Amino acid sequence: MTKENGKKLVIVESPAKAKTINKILGKDYKVTASVGHIIDLPKTRLGVDIDNGFEPEYTVIEGKNDVIRKLKSEAKGVSEILVATDPDREGEAIAYFIADSVRKVNSNIFRIEFNEITRPAVLKALDHPRSIDQHRVEAQQARRVMDRIVGYQVSPVLWQTIYKGLSAGRVQSVALRLICEREAEIDAFKPVEYWSITAELQTASQENFLARLVQIGKEKLDPNKFHIGSEGEAKRHYEQLQQETYRVTKIKRDKVTKRPGPPFITSTLQQDASRRFSMSTSRVMSTAQKLYEGIQLGDKGEVGLITYMRTDSTRISPEALDAVRTYIAESYGSEYLPPKPNIYKTKKSAQDAHEAIRPTYLNSEYEPKKLKKYLTPDQFKIYDLIWKRFVASQLKPAIADRLSIEITAGEYRFRASGEVITFRGYLLVYQPEAEEKKSDDEDDNLPENLPKQIAEGEILKLLELLMKQHFTKPPARYSESSLVKMMDNLGIGRPSTYAQIIATLFQRKYIEKLERALAPTELGKTVNALLVKHFPNIFNVQFTAEMENGLDKIEAHESSYRQAMDEFYIPFKETLDKVSGKIKEIKLSLQKDTGEACDVCGKPMVIKWGRNGQFLACSGFPECKNTRPLETPPPPEETDEKCPTCGSPMVIKRGRYGEFMACSRYPECKTTKPLSTGVSCPEDNCNGTLVQKQSRRGKIFFGCDQYPKCQFAMWNKPRATTCPKCNYSIMEEKTTRKDGFYLQCPKCKHREMVEELTG
């Protein structure tokens, strides 16, 4: 069939991606975008026929009829249609609905996929068209339907017992449980006192070094087991040690090989970028998305700089391996190039058709420092990190000389150890970021502080004994980075969903940030306690991980959509039926007695939940409607920002006109500033950030912090989401009674319906 001189239509999700691909393919192809999803479950009802095999009731997303009409119109005049949506389950589902929408006007439809938007990758995909993978589509459908059922059938329990507008999610609520359980561990933690003793010693060659006491008799020191538990006990050992002779009993020298880590997958990119740059996981992913879809590089036009960023595979294509090995030999020398490529294992559950996250072009022309002028600060940070991690993954290991010295003093044993790098290897390019801070129990020696001339049997001179008090520390709160790592290890959710899960917990005000760590709010604790108590078999790690495994089985042709849904829904429905009969009982259990009497009718006053938090209410409601606010205001919320006046942390406070930022040293420092949204100003050539402001009449709006130099302002809250239709750098949050919550582009007015009750 020949239409329009044999032209072919390529359909992708985003206009940015379409623009980059169009530059590659040229005049024989038309490239257009669906602007994201076009079909989904209805927003205002469940949309799943549970009794009919969990049949979804799909509808056209509001505002997408025009897109579908355009796709049909363009499909009429071409020889074939190539659907090139993202290479994952969600992309496969979008491809399915696109194909279904245009099939009546042109049935010559094929699916193509690529992991990077480069000429070789796109042309190779054109040579290998296939049909749409129905198993992959069903796996995505099962995820979507499970999430919809949980959201629409459990969330009303929260509405009826706490207040309307809250949400529960199949994965979201398990992530909240992890955060709350860690907080409970911290609250229950009782610190244990212990003392360390460090000896400053001198060798016969007059070299001084420190050694830490590690053993007394046959007992090794451990703060959680055997330890010096008081100052008095420490002093007794101190006095005894003053009398002992210090002899070197063992010297161990060995070479240590430090191997590079694998190239990034989604979860490890989120973890590393979050640790290094204090970036939220959602910000990391939105930045990576832009790097994947294409960046304007001067005369080169739109260029996709990284491979697809939603992947759990560490696989690297042979072509990429050849390119990076050539680059390493040319840039660092053959001494840094291993004899054969470094190959990394991918975990069993990974979708190994994907590649790891890597740069698309491995030559000096595309080095981060040479592209910096084309990139935003965030884009440069992420691109530079991906580049260095990938290059490092194919370098030789680093080599270190490690020295360990054991010293005996009577029944006491001391140890000093350290290491020095002798061959930098991959460390020449990439320095791993430490996951945890150094503990008090680690050796104090730097490698250069260890003696160079020392022998076994040598008698050392004691210069000084140092006693130090310590207390065991509670487990650390999760950061976004460590929460992602835990969820990945436990098999909860997919790496591609982690950023949205964390963002939803913040949006619902279930969690907050305290010194870069995630802590549950009182509301989050209340919601979690209710869900864990009444849905113990649903919102737990094992059940959620089993459901993820079930989705993998559908894609691998080892299970079916109906089987996976039955395994999920049967235990879920049993629990839901039990809870539905106890709504009044649950609601009463959430009310806290205050010991106060109502000043209107004399009945007890209780603490209840409302949309604006907790408040005091008469237990005689509805006969007595007496209420009043709780007298204790919520504590200021900490931020990562520093006071521009004195350098102290800034906190978020609430005043009569809403939230604002203030110095934590108030009243010594009275600096205040508008509340930052963290969203960059969309105006060209402006480096400002949008902040919350207030009009003369007290109405909240959002404006650039570079005012009056930049006068950009908007009424609705901005979000750092690129408009998929016109590529405007922000969208605004809107809510109407008819449509609920959605995002709208301030420039072209395009709407994106956002599923609130998700994951």
Strand order in the sheet with 592-597: 592-597, 604-610, 613-618, 627-629
Residue 602 lies in a domain: yes
- The single residue listed with the structure tokens 């992913």 is 285
Residue 113 and residue 56 in one domain: yes
Task: List pLDDT tens digits, range 460-470.
Answer: 999 999 999 99
Residue 536 and residue 555 in one domain: yes
Task: List pLDDT tens digits, range 65-88.
Answer: 999 999 999 999 899 999 999 999
Listed residue (237, 235, 293, 410) closest to 35, CA to CA = 293
pLDDT value of residue 351: 54
Are 82 and 60 spatial neighbours (Cβ–Cβ below 8 Å)? Answer: no
| Ramachandran angles phi, psi of 459, nearest 5° | -90, 130
Residue 653 lies in a domain: no
Helix (H) or strand (E) holding 534: helix 522-534
Residue 292 and residue 212 in one domain: no
Q: For the range 185-192, what are the long-range contacts, defined as Cβ-Cβ under 8 Å and sequence gap of 24 or more?
A: 185/474, 185/475, 186/474, 186/475, 186/477, 189/474, 189/475, 191/471, 191/472, 191/473, 191/474, 192/223, 192/224, 192/227, 192/229, 192/471, 192/472
Non-local CB neighbours of 595 within 8 Å, separated by 6+ positions: 604
pLDDT value of residue 700: 80
- Strand 8-12 relative to strand 29-33: parallel, antiparallel, unpaired? parallel
- The single residue listed with the structure tokens 């931020």 is 639
Which residue did the predictor score with more confidence, 439 or 674? Answer: 674
- Strand 109-111 relative to strand 80-83: parallel, antiparallel, unpaired? parallel
Q: What is the mean pLDDT of residues 508-528?
A: 92
The domain in which residue 325 lies consists of 266-393
- Based on the residue annotation, tell me whether 238 is a catalytic residue of this protein: no
Output the average pLDDT for the chain. 89
Which residue did the predictor score with more confidence, 50 or 720? Answer: 50
If one counts the domains in the chain, the total is 5
3-state secondary structure of 305: coil
User: Rounded distance, CA 702 to CA 642, Å?
Assistant: 21
Two structure tokens written together for 735 = 């809510």
Task: List pLDDT tens digits, range 243-288.
Answer: 999 999 999 999 999 999 999 999 999 999 999 998 889 889 999 9
User: Rounded distance, CA 654 to CA 646, Å?
Assistant: 21
Q: What is the mean pLDDT of residues 486-500?
A: 89
Would you put residue 51 in left (φ > 0), alpha (ψ -120 to 50) or beta? alpha
Which residue did the predictor score with more confidence, 696 or 235? Answer: 235
- The single residue listed with the structure tokens 């068209």 is 129
User: Rounded distance, CA 617 to CA 601, Å?
Assistant: 12
Strand extents, DSSP E, 134-207:
193-202
| Ramachandran angles phi, psi of 287, nearest 5° | -70, -45
**pLDDT-derived band of residue 649, with 50, 70 and 90 as boundaries?**
confident
Q: CA distances (Å), 478 to each of 348, 435, 735, in order?
A: 26, 12, 32
Are 48 and 148 spatial neighbours (Cβ–Cβ below 8 Å)? Answer: yes
Q: CA distances (Å), 148 to each of 48, 49, 265, 560, in order?
A: 8, 12, 28, 19
Which residue did the predictor score with more confidence, 676 or 445? Answer: 676
C-beta atoms surrounding 695 within 10 Å: 11
With 0.85 as the threshold, say if the pTM is over it.
no
Residue 513 and residue 552 in one domain: yes
Q: CA distances (Å), 206 to each of 99, 116, 209, 401, in order?
A: 80, 60, 10, 22
**pLDDT-derived band of residue 694, with 50, 70 and 90 as boundaries?**
confident
CATH number, position 325: 1.10.290.10
User: Rounded distance, CA 643 to CA 650, Å?
Assistant: 6
User: Rounded distance, CA 444 to CA 563, Å?
Assistant: 57
Are 545 and 488 spatial neighbours (Cβ–Cβ below 8 Å)? Answer: no
Residue 534 and residue 579 in one domain: yes
Q: CA distances (Å), 623 to each of 601, 607, 617, in order?
A: 9, 17, 12
Residue 292 and residue 271 in one domain: yes
Residue 327 and residue 353 in one domain: yes
- Whether the link from the prior residue into 649 is cis, omega within 30° of 0, is no
User: Rounded distance, CA 479 to CA 482, Å?
Assistant: 5
Strand extents, DSSP E, 426-579:
459-471, 511-514, 517-520
Counted residue by residue, the chain has a size of 759
Residue 556 and residue 487 in one domain: yes
- Kindly report the three-state secondary structure assignment for every residue of 193-215: EEEEEEEEEECCCCCEEEEEEEE
Task: List pLDDT tens digits, range 74-130.
Answer: 999 899 999 999 999 999 999 999 999 999 999 999 999 999 999 999 999 999 999
User: Rounded distance, CA 289 to CA 310, Å?
Assistant: 9
CATH number, position 501: 1.10.460.10
pLDDT value of residue 448: 55
List residues bridging with 627 in a β-sheet.
617
Q: CA distances (Å), 210 to each of 200, 206, 236, 466, 549, in order?
A: 5, 13, 21, 10, 51
Residue 755 has pLDDT above 60, yes or no: no
CATH number, position 34: 3.40.50.140
pLDDT value of residue 647: 83
Label residue 472 exposed, middle or buried (CB < 10 Å: 0-12, 13-18, 19+).
middle
| Helix pair angle (480-490, 266-277), 10° resolution | 160
Burial state string for 389-399 with b = 16 or more CB within 10 A and e = fewer than 16 = bbbbbbbbbbe
Residue 98 Cα to chain centre, angstroms = 30
pLDDT value of residue 344: 92
Q: Which of 84, 99, 132 is the last residue of a domain?
A: 132
Residue 298 lies in a domain: yes
Residue 402 and residue 255 in one domain: yes
Residue 579 and residue 613 in one domain: no
Residue 442 has pLDDT above 70, yes or no: no
Candidate list 292, 308, 336, 561, residue with the active-site label: 308
Residue 380 and residue 463 in one domain: no
Q: Which of 449, 471, 493 is the last residue of a domain?
A: 471
Are 558 and 551 spatial neighbours (Cβ–Cβ below 8 Å)? Answer: no
Residue 376 and residue 403 in one domain: no
User: Rounded distance, CA 365 to CA 437, Å?
Assistant: 37
Residue 367 lies in a domain: yes
Residue 527 lies in a domain: yes
pLDDT value of residue 511: 95
Which residue did the predictor score with more confidence, 219 or 652? Answer: 219
Task: List pLDDT tens digits, range 304-341.
Answer: 999 999 998 999 999 999 999 999 999 999 999 999 99
pLDDT value of residue 428: 95
Which residue did the predictor score with more confidence, 273 or 692? Answer: 273
Residue 463 Cα to chain centre, angstroms = 49
Q: Which of 446, 471, 496 is the last residue of a domain?
A: 471
Q: For the range 567-570, what are the long-range contacts, defined as Cβ-Cβ under 8 Å and sequence gap of 24 or more?
A: 568/146, 569/50, 569/54, 569/149
CATH number, position 212: 2.70.20.10
Task: List pLDDT tens digits, range 524-572.
Answer: 999 999 999 999 988 999 988 899 899 999 999 999 999 999 999 999 9
pLDDT value of residue 437: 46
Are 201 and 211 spatial neighbours (Cβ–Cβ below 8 Å)? Answer: yes
User: Rounded distance, CA 492 to CA 540, Å?
Assistant: 10
List residues bridging with 616 in a β-sheet.
607, 628
Residue 512 lies in a domain: yes
Residue 641 lies in a domain: no
- Strand 80-83 relative to strand 8-12: parallel, antiparallel, unpaired? parallel
Residue 727 lies in a domain: no
Q: Rounded to 5 degrees, what angle do the CA atoms 278, 283, 288 make? A: 115
